[in-house]
Amino acid sequence: MTRITRKGATVEAAISAALQKLNVTRDEVDVEIIDPGKKGFLGFGVREAEVIVSIIKTETQQPISSKEKVEKVQEPTLETTIEEVVDQSIEPVKEIVEVMIENPEVSDQQAIDETAAYVKAIAEAMGIDDLAITHEMEGKYISFQLESKKAAFLIGKRGQTLNALQQLAQLVTNKYAGQFKVVRLDVGDYRERREQSLEQFAERMADQAVRNGRKVKLEPMPSYERKVIHNALSNRLDIETYSEGTDPHRYLVIEPIN
């Protein structure tokens, strides 16, 4: 076999897979990129890269040692993709900062309108064209309610997509609002159901910590979800809770009190 076609999350991942299959090194092949692939947006529209790798013919071919074999590249997970998308999506927000410098006039209504328009634009990029947005404002808190037949896409795995949208919406709102605002995005009653689930989960993990006499480290979660767990366990005298790590990988620890 001297020619092979392979796909991967990136061009380099596809090339690495081909090299491993052919049992050769990078300088022994020619690479033709058929499709550079596409990262997509918020995990949607992802397309794998595709390459054709051909072995360069030589008069003699020496066997390749195990040390020279190319290690397989691990493809990125959905969680990694979402975090990268959040970073990439900050760029449009930077443009808003430039507009603010040119036009310093701000208002709460403008903040609400611009945030709703921004969220709709992201939804359309995800293939959601029926998004309806309503809002309520109480003091510094602004709640946006999102409605769509494709609600599950807006929420994502364990609310990751919704959390990413909320983070971006928070940035947009506070570039236009006259005073700092706290933004909350919800789809249906997802936030309420999530909080109930977290409270039940918190009690189970606290019981486990006390039963085993060892602290329990929870998975990384947003600050407001950690706060839900803190509050849910605040009246217990047999455990204490605290956070460790740095965002976005900050997590909560439940430790029994002996």
Q: Quickly list DSSP for 51-87.
A: EEEEEPP-S--PPPPGGGSPPPPPPPPHHHHHHHHHH
Which domains does the chain possess?
A: 3-56 (3.30.30), 78-188 (3.30.300.20), 192-256 (3.30.1370.50)
**Structure confidence at residue 53 (pLDDT):** 85
**Structure confidence at residue 39 (pLDDT):** 67
Partners of 92 in the β-ladder:
none
CB neighbourhood size of 16 (10 A): 19
Peptide bond into 248 cis (omega under 30): yes
**Structure confidence at residue 82 (pLDDT):** 42
Q: H helices of the chain, where?
A: 11-22, 78-102, 108-125, 151-155, 160-176, 190-212, 223-232
CB neighbourhood size of 74 (10 A): 8
**Structure confidence at residue 249 (pLDDT):** 84
Q: What is the average pLDDT score of the chain?
A: 78
- Between these two residues, 77 and 156, which has the higher pLDDT value? 156
Q: What is the pTM of this model?
A: 0.55
What's the mean pLDDT in 116-138?
Answer: 91
